[in-house]
Amino acid sequence: MELLTLPLIISFKKIEVAGKGSLIVGESEKEIPFPVKRVYWVEGALNDLEVRGNHAHKTSVQVVVAMKGAVRIELESKEGETFSFHLKNSDEGLLIPPMYWRKLFLEKNGSCLCFASKEYSEEDYIREYSVFKQ
Amino acid sequence: MELLTLPLIISFKKIEVAGKGSLIVGESEKEIPFPVKRVYWVEGALNDLEVRGNHAHKTSVQVVVAMKGAVRIELESKEGETFSFHLKNSDEGLLIPPMYWRKLFLEKNGSCLCFASKEYSEEDYIREYSVFKQ
């Protein structure tokens, strides 16, 4: 887990099933480089590009995958480094290390899948941008 | 895990975010009643209602969620009991215990999310229906 300090695109294994589509795999501690404690899916933005997220995690590592429609993700470190990613394919994920302020912009009716290394704990969230930047 | 012997619909917690959509949560050993070892997503059926699955697991428990479009799932126990489910909402999942033959029928361009209690092992699959029914 020590190396999970920079945002990183993860490529998932995509298995094509002739004439039937595909199967994409994320295994705990393999493609997803941590034990997956929590999976959640963010969906149903009523308007195009509504911002979601708007918080940072103190310790939880997350991986985000665009499942339906594309998602744009903007990250900012405490030091002010910024990153922008545009996820369009469900065989790639963005790993977000702890202590990055994130903004997610989903397409209308889009959804994304998120894997987290920790169970839910409100104490792990920083919800005030000014607090994050202190 | 002893109780996971019958198919079961799981309701996930759906958190509405005013004006922005929703967030649906599946936590290992909570909504998903086992430690999640593997997550995969089945997608992109080129034709409507192509059959996927067509196997049973000896020990792995799975939960299936319709993420994009609906999915119909037909299950059959070794003894010949049959079950049919039609999943349409991403806040419900079907728990499939071990030793159920499964057929998944995805809508065109649909996708479903699957949680598994075991890492991938070809030995855990029964891929021949006649072998399953023996």
Is 50 exceeded by the pLDDT of residue B97?
A: yes
Mean predicted confidence (pLDDT) in B115-122: 94
Task: Give the pairing type, strands A71-77 and A100-106.
Answer: antiparallel
The DSSP code for B123 is G
Distance CA B115, CA A116 (A): 14
A47 against B118, higher pLDDT: B118
H helical segments located in chain B: 129-133
Q: Can you tell me the distance from the alpha carbon of B62 to that of A100, in angstroms, rounded to the nearest whole number?
A: 33
Measured distance CA(A82)–CA(A54) in Å, rounded: 14
Q: Residue B13 in contact with residue B24, Cβ under 8 Å?
A: yes
Is the CB of B26 inside 8 Å of chain A's CB atoms?
yes
Instruction: Determine whether the interchain pair A39/B40 forms a contact, defined as Cβ–Cβ distance below 8 Å.
Output: no
**In this complex, is the C-beta atom of B10 within 8 Å of any C-beta atom belonging to chain A?**
no
Structural domains of chain B ordered from first start: 8-132 (2.60.120.10)
Q: What is the pLDDT of residues A72-107, one digit of tens each?
A: 999 999 999 999 999 999 999 999 999 999 999 988
**Contact (Cβ atoms closer than 8 angstroms) between residue A114 and residue A41:** yes
Q: B57 catalytic, yes or no?
A: no
Percent helix, strand, coil in chain B, to 5, is: 5, 55, 40
Residue with tokens 């070794």: B78
Any bridge partners for residue B116, and if so which?
Answer: B38, B62
Q: Residue A2: is its pLDDT beyond 70?
A: no
Show the tokens assigned to A11.
Answer: 């490529």
* A46 pLDDT tier (thresholds 50, 70, 90): low
Cα of B90 vs its chain's centroid, Å: 12
Is the minimum CB–CB distance between B49 and chain A shorter than 8 Å? Answer: no
Q: Where are the alpha helices (DSSP H) in A11-123?
A: none
User: Which pair of tokens denotes residue A49?
Assistant: 């590009």
Between A and B, how many CB-CB pairs are < 8 A?
119
Selected catalytic residue, list B52, B55, B68, B72: B55
Q: Minimal CA–CA distance to B90: which of B21, B3, B2, B1?
A: B21
Q: What residues in B contact A115, CB-CB < 8 Å?
A: 39
Q: How far is CA B124 from CA A3, A16, A53, B98, in A?
A: 33, 21, 38, 10
| Mutant choice from B12, B30, B31, B38 vs A, greatest count of A C-beta within 10 A | B38
What is d(CA B73, CA B52) in angstroms, rounded to the nearest whole number? 9
For A78, residues 6+ apart whose C-beta sits below 8 A from its C-beta are A99, A132, A133
| Residue B124: pLDDT over 90 | yes
Residue A18 backbone dihedrals phi, psi, to 5 degrees = -45, 120
Q: Quick one: pLDDT at residue A20?
A: 81
Calculate the CA B31 to chain-centre distance.
Answer: 14
Confidence of residue A1 (pLDDT cuts 50, 70, 90): very low
How confident is the model at residue A5, as a pLDDT?
85
Hey, is the C-beta of B68 within 8 angstroms of any chain A C-beta?
yes
pLDDT, one tens digit per residue, over B28-58 is: 889 999 988 899 999 866 666 678 899 999 9
Contact call for A120 and B42, based on CB within 8 A: no
What integer pLDDT is reported at residue B17 of this predicted model? Answer: 83
* Whether residue B1 has pLDDT greater than 90: no
Q: What ipTM was predicted for this assembly?
A: 0.86
Distance CA A73, CA A103 (A): 6
Q: Is B129 on the interface with A (CB under 8 A)?
A: no
